[in-house]
Amino acid sequence: MEATNPKLRQFLKDAYTMSCNHSYEIYEWMAKNKYYPIVIAEGNQTGEIGKIYNTIQL
């Protein structure tokens, strides 16, 4: 996100945060009402998914 106007930049940051929170609230509602079944990932599944991404060097 790029914005040099401080008010616009703050608005965009707030809108992003609200969107993330709203998405999580929808997920929680769907999971509670069994529209989105929760499946616990096994260790090998998370490892396989992790191989897709590059390691970040700090």
Going from N- to C-terminal start, the domains of the chain cover 6-50
Q: How confident is the model at residue 43 (pLDDT cuts 50, 70, 90)?
A: confident
pLDDT tens track for 2-42: 899 999 999 999 999 999 999 999 999 999 999 988 888 78
- Report the residue count for the chain: 58
Task: Give this prediction's pTM.
Answer: 0.59
Say which residue the tokens 């608005």 belong to.
11
Q: Tell me, what's the pLDDT at 58? A: 81
Q: Tell me, what's the pLDDT at 6? A: 95
Q: How confident is the model at residue 54 (pLDDT cuts 50, 70, 90)?
A: confident
Q: Tell me, what's the pLDDT at 10? A: 95
CA 57/CA 30 separation, integer angstroms: 37
